[in-house]
Amino acid sequence: MKLLLPVLFAPVVLSLTSTQVLAAIQTRTVEYKHGNTVLEGYLAYDDTIKGQRPGVLVVHEWNGLQSYVKKRTEELAKLGYVAFAADIYGKGIRPQNPEDSGKQASIYRQDRQLLRDRTNAGLQVLQQNSLTDVKRIAAVGYCFGGGAVLELARSGANIGGVVSFHGNLDTPNPKDANNINAKVLVLHGADDPLVPDEQVQAFATEMRAANVDWQLVSYGGAVHSFTNPEANNPPQSLYNEVVAKRSWQAMKQFFAEIFR
C-alpha cells in the first residue's frame, strides 16, 4: 500500500485578474500563498466548454513563470483542459539571466521538500478550481519544472500522471519512488549534457525498484530545452522543432490514456 505524504500548507487564493487571449481561451493571474510566501500563478481555460474537464498543472523552467510556460499553459487550454501554471519562486521573482536563474533553481534543488511543497501548493489551486475534474489531473514540467513534477509524484500526490520535458531526473531519496501513485512519462533529449546517461540509468533503476508505471522516450540528437524556440546555447540547450512536435504528441497520447 502506498502512503500519501501530507501537504503542509494549503494555498489561499487572494485575487484574480483577467485577460482574453483568443475568443474562447481565457487567462487569469492567480495570486495564492504557501505559508507566508505570496505566489502568482497563471490559469487558462476554454470558456466554450461547459462543466468540468481534466486539469493539468504546469511547472516552469529555471527562469520562473514567464512567457514560454504561459504559452504552453494556453496551448493545454486549447486542447480542452483547465491548465494552471504554478509559481515555485514567488511573486515578482522572475530571473532575467542564467546566473540569477541558477541561484533560484538551486534553492529548490537543494531542498526537495520545499520544492514538493511549493508544487503541491499549485496543485491545490488547480484542485480547488470549479472547472477541474479532480479525478482527472496530471502535471507537466519543463527543465527545472520537469524535475519538480517528478518530485510531486515522489511526494505521493494523488494524480493520474506526470510528464517531464527535458527535466532533471535525479533525486536525493530514490526510495521515495515507493510513494508514487501517478503514471510517469519522461521525454528526454538523448544527447542532453545536463542529464547524463548515469542519471538516466539511476532513474530507471529507481522506477523499476518501486514498480512504477513509467515510460522514458529518448530523442536522438536532442539536448536540453528542446521544446523551447528561444533555446539557443549549443551544445547544452537548443530548440529542436521536430522533437518538440514529437514530444507534444507523446504527451497528448499519454493524456488520452490516463484521462479516458
Question: What pLDDT does 12 receive?
Answer: 41
Residue 169 and residue 177 in contact, taking contact as beta carbons nearer than 8 Å: no
d(CA 53, CA 9): 25
- Local confidence band at 22 (pLDDT 50, 70, 90 cut-offs): very low
50, part of any domain? yes
Question: What pLDDT does 9 receive?
Answer: 37
Share of the chain above pLDDT 70, in %: 91
Residue 22 burial (CB < 10 Å; 0-12/13-18/19+)? Answer: exposed
Task: Give the chain's mean pLDDT.
Answer: 92
In 3D space, the residue among 59, 49, 60 whose CA is nearest the CA of residue 82 turns out to be 49
What pTM, to 2 d.p., does this model score?
0.91
pLDDT tens figures, 120-144: 999 999 999 999 999 999 999 999 9
Average pLDDT over residues 201-214: 98
Residue 120 and residue 240 in contact, taking contact as beta carbons nearer than 8 Å: no
1, part of any domain? no
User: What is the domain range of residue 54?
Assistant: 15-258
Question: What pLDDT does 17 receive?
Answer: 43
Question: What pLDDT does 159 receive?
Answer: 98
pLDDT tens figures, 58-88: 999 999 999 999 999 999 999 999 999 999 9
- In 3-state terms, what secondary structure has residue 180? coil
User: Distance of CA 170 to CAs 23, 175, 193, Å?
Assistant: 41, 12, 14
- In 3-state terms, what secondary structure has residue 187? strand
Number of domains into which the chain is organized: 1
7, part of any domain? no
User: Which segments within the chain are labelled E, that is strand?
Assistant: 15-20, 25-34, 37-46, 53-59, 82-86, 132-142, 161-165, 183-189, 214-219, 232-233, 237-238
What is the CATH number for 36? 3.40.50.1820
- Local confidence band at 1 (pLDDT 50, 70, 90 cut-offs): very low
94, part of any domain? yes
2, part of any domain? no
Residue 167 and residue 141 in contact, taking contact as beta carbons nearer than 8 Å: yes
In 3D space, the residue among 38, 37, 35, 85 whose CA is nearest the CA of residue 64 turns out to be 85
3, part of any domain? no
